[in-house]
Structure 1
Amino acid sequence: MKNDNQIFGIRAIIEAIQSGTIIDKVFIQKESQGDLMRELLKSIKSKNINFSYVPVEKLNRMTAMNHQGAVATISPIAFHELEDMIVSTTEQGKMPLFLILDQLSDARNFGAIIRTAECTGVNGIIIQKQGSAPVNGDTVKTSAGAVFNVPICKVDHIKDAIFHLQGSGIKTVAATEKTDQNIYDINFNEPVAIIMGNEERGVNPSVLKVVDEKAKLPMYGTIESLNVSVACGAFLYEVVRQRLV
């Protein structure tokens, strides 16, 4: 069965996938088995849909209905292709500004970042298909509707997206404390993509190895890090400041 932003029940999710419904993520009960569940997993993998195994308690919190061990969230938006976002930005004569979120996991952080991205003129947001926060009701609400105004692209691997951007003449800058370089030493007055990391571990070390530059925010308190949405805002507004000159 289906409500405004969820589909619950194995057969209902399979049918939704086959009909072309834009599904953001499927939550599957741990240790679920059976022919129908195997059919669901086959459908999910064939369409490269984000999914995760969760305890039954999480599914019960998501819906009071008979979910049969599977709940899917429906995306409120259509996702864009990376190449289309780059070409569209270039054709409009804009200086590219992209944002890459390396497996950000919290939907409310995601929404807050989208809101700031819209306000600062970000041309597109890139997320990974697996392991990223869902685009759900919390995302829409926290973004204050900005999710409908900023193109969002899902990619198989963040590193591949970085290589594509670099090949298109767009500099990649990772926000990380694992550097001596200050954010205010970076030239953002050129085509650029900023990479923000996961709430707990930051930008993946393998991603840090392939970016063009790394930068950190100066910290003077006893707390070692900022909330990722706050840090992202600081980076984006430094881009705005430099481009206003």
Structure 2
Amino acid sequence: MQKDNQIFGIRAVIEAVHAGRSIDKVFLQRGLKGPLFSELETLLRREQINMSFVPLEKLNRFGNKNHQGVVAHISPVGFHDLENLVMQTIESGDTPFFLLLDQVSDVRNFGAIIRTAECTGVHGIIVPNKGGAPVTADTVKTSAGAVFNVPLCKVPHIKDAVFYLQASGIQVVAATEKTDASVYDLPLSQPTAIVMGAEDKGISPSILKAADHKAKLPMSGNIGSLNVSVACGVFLYETVRQRQNKS
């Protein structure tokens, strides 16, 4: 059974996965058992779909008491294959420009970032299967509809996406305060992918280590950091500025 961006019931969710629907997250009743439920859990793990085990009370709050212990949230947009998108971008003759979000979890930040990415010509936004913000109605609203214009890619691990981009000739720049280098000193007119980190923890250490460059924004005030969507906007527009000056 489906209601707007939600699907209720074990069999309905199984069929949605097999049909290739873009599922952001599946909520499963804690302690639920049975062969059909086991089939669903196995399928979700195999397809690397984000899932969470929750108490019955949380499932009941979704507004459909016939959920059978399973509620899936459907993304309003489809997701692109990263390898195909990178290949298409390179073949188009454009200078690749990608954005990776390492565990950015606030849907409004996500929407604001998508909006700026669309305005700056980003070829694609790469997010993890698990841990990142889902595409919700709030995301769509905050992005001013840009979510329908910028290709989104979901990957099992951001670090693997970093390695793939590097192997494709695209430098990876991590936005972090843990460096002395300024974003204004980096060559961003070449093929580039920028990594933005989580609101609370920033970029994970393994991804920082894998990046080609680390860069920060100069800060003059007493507050030590910017909102991630604002910082992202500065990085994206510095890339645009350098590319316009080169052309």
The bucket for the TM-score relative to the shorter chain is over 0.9
- Do the aligned partners of residues 64 and 219 (structure 1) sit closer, same or farther apart at CA in structure 2, a change above 3 Å counting? farther
Kept in 1: contact 2:127–2:154 (CA 8 A): yes
Kept in 2: contact 1:5–1:137 (CA 8 A): no
User: Which position in structure 2 is the counterpart of 1:38?
Assistant: 38
- Alignment of structure 1 residues 97-116 onto 2, 5 Å: 97-116=97-116
- Do the aligned partners of residues 215 and 18 (structure 1) sit closer, same or farther apart at CA in structure 2, a change above 3 Å counting? same
Task: Tell which deviates more after alignment, 160-169 or 137-146.
Answer: 137-146
Letter in 2 for 1:209: K
Q: CA deviation at 1:213?
A: 0.4
- Do the aligned partners of residues 180 and 62 (structure 1) sit closer, same or farther apart at CA in structure 2, a change above 3 Å counting? farther
Deviations 1:38-83 (CA, angstroms, capped at 9, x unpaired)? 2221121122212223454543444354433321111222211112
Unaligned segments of structure 2, at least 5 residues? none
- Do the aligned partners of residues 237 and 25 (structure 1) sit closer, same or farther apart at CA in structure 2, a change above 3 Å counting? same
Identical columns (%): 63
- Alignment of structure 1 residues 175-186 onto 2, 5 Å: 175-186=175-186
User: Which position in structure 1 is the counterpart of 2:80?
Assistant: 80
Unaligned segments of structure 1, at least 5 residues? none
Q: 1: distance between equivalents of 2:20 and 2:147?
A: 21
Q: Aligned to 2:210, what secondary structure does the other structure show?
A: coil
User: Which position in structure 1 is the counterpart of 2:174?
Assistant: 174
Q: CA deviation at 1:18?
A: 2.7
> How many pairs are equivalent?
245
- Do the aligned partners of residues 56 and 188 (structure 1) sit closer, same or farther apart at CA in structure 2, a change above 3 Å counting? farther
Q: Aligned to 1:224, what secondary structure does the other structure show?
A: coil
Deviations 1:137-185 (CA, angstroms, capped at 9, x unpaired)? 2221211111111111111111111111111110000011111111111
- Alignment of structure 1 residues 1-245 onto 2, 5 Å: 1-245=1-245
Q: Aligned to 2:24, what secondary structure does the other structure show?
A: strand
Kept in 2: contact 1:98–1:192 (CA 8 A): yes
Q: CA deviation at 1:19?
A: 3.1
Kept in 2: contact 1:97–1:192 (CA 8 A): yes
TM-score by structure 2 length?
A: 0.92
Coordinate RMSD, CA, aligned: 1.7
TM-score by structure 1 length?
A: 0.93
- Do the aligned partners of residues 36 and 166 (structure 1) sit closer, same or farther apart at CA in structure 2, a change above 3 Å counting? same
Task: Tell which deviates more after alignment, 65-74 or 118-127.
Answer: 65-74
Letter in 1 for 2:228: V
Task: Tell which deviates more after alignment, 11-20 or 154-163.
Answer: 11-20
Q: CA deviation at 1:230?
A: 0.9
- Do the aligned partners of residues 149 and 95 (structure 1) sit closer, same or farther apart at CA in structure 2, a change above 3 Å counting? same
Q: Aligned to 1:209, what secondary structure does the other structure show?
A: helix
Q: 1: distance between equivalents of 2:2 and 2:107?
A: 21
Q: Aligned to 1:7, what secondary structure does the other structure show?
A: strand
Q: 2: distance between equivalents of 1:76 and 1:90?
A: 27
Kept in 1: contact 2:8–2:64 (CA 8 A): no
Q: Aligned to 2:178, what secondary structure does the other structure show?
A: coil
Q: CA deviation at 1:86?
A: 1.2
